[in-house]
Every structure is written in structure tokens, then in C-alpha cells.
Amino acid sequence: MNIIDVKISLEGNFDKLEKIFELQGKLKEKYDLIERQKGIYVPDFPVDINICRNQEYFKSLAYRVVSELVEATECFRNKAWKQSEVLTDIDHLKEELADCLHFYIELCINLGITAPELFELYFKKQEVNRWRQATKY
């Protein structure tokens, strides 16, 4: 099964980013249990990011984000040296990007970053980027 097989209703008045964090938190609990049962180290929350073992855990989560992003780029099948063009599987590309978001949000949750904090951080960084463009930084 993949995303084209799923029908959902997103009606209602709710904070979409908060909902993403809520659902990923529930999914994370289940995956944490599975990983622990397999003998994979999963730190307890809140996580002390100054401990080497916990930093390795965060690196593995970051690698999952990167891995899904690489899978998304593999949907781009055209090559500069080929004469024919290949259509991109847009649904597969979107699914891989959604996977990337899943792991990114999980990384945020593990670092104690909340949906409102991520929202604020995004807009602060947006202002930094605008300043850099304006000042030719």
C-alpha cells in the first residue's frame, strides 16, 4: 500500500503543524518499542544531547531524513546525456518527501522542539535569510 491507496478527510479547524507533531509522536512511540525490542538503543525522553550515545542516536535519525531525501531524488530519472525523457513518478516523489518529513518531525520531537517552536524558528530563519539577501551577505 502507498499514498495513492489512502483516502483521508482533513476538514476541521485545527493547527496542521500541531497535528503532524501529534501523529508523529504516536507513531514514534510504536517505533521506539519495536527498535528497543530489536536491541537498538533509543534514549528515554527528554534526551540529554550532550551524551555521546545520544548524539549517535540523533545522527541515525538525521541519516533517516537524508536517506528518504535521496530516495526522493531517485525519482528524477532523466540524464543529461540521454536523448529521451522519462516521466517522473510524482506520487512516489511526494511519498518519499512525506517520509522525509516524518523523520524530520521525529528528530524535532526527540530534541524537544515543539510545533510552535519550529514554526517560530522557521520564521526567524526566514528573517535572517531576507537580511542576508538585502545586505548581499
For the chain, the C-alpha Rg in angstroms (whole number) is 19
118: number of Cβ within 10 Å: 17
Decide if 91 contacts 102 (C-beta within 8 A).
Answer: no
CATH 1.10.287 fits 15-76+86-134, yes or no: yes
Identify the band that residue 91 occupies on the pLDDT scale cut at 50, 70 and 90.
very high
Tell me how far apart the alpha carbons of residues 32 and 48 are, in angstroms, rounded to a whole number: 17
pLDDT at 46: 79
Taking only the tens place, the pLDDT of each residue in 21-78 is 999 999 999 999 999 999 999 998 878 999 999 999 999 999 999 999 999 999 999 9
114: Cα separation from own chain's centroid: 14
Residue 65 amino acid letter: V
pLDDT at 14: 84
Tell me how far apart the alpha carbons of residues 58 and 104 are, in angstroms, rounded to a whole number: 11
pLDDT at 45: 81
Residue among 105, 124, 107 nearest 115 (CA): 105
Cell of 136: 548581499
Whole-structure pTM value: 0.87
- Would you kindly state where each structural domain of the chain is located, as residue ranges? 15-76+86-134
Task: Name residues whose C-beta falls within 8 Å of residue 53's C-beta, 6 or more positions apart in sequence.
Answer: 41, 43
Tell me how far apart the alpha carbons of residues 127 and 3 are, in angstroms, rounded to a whole number: 34
pLDDT at 42: 95
Taking only the tens place, the pLDDT of each residue in 1-27 is 777 777 877 777 888 999 999 999 999
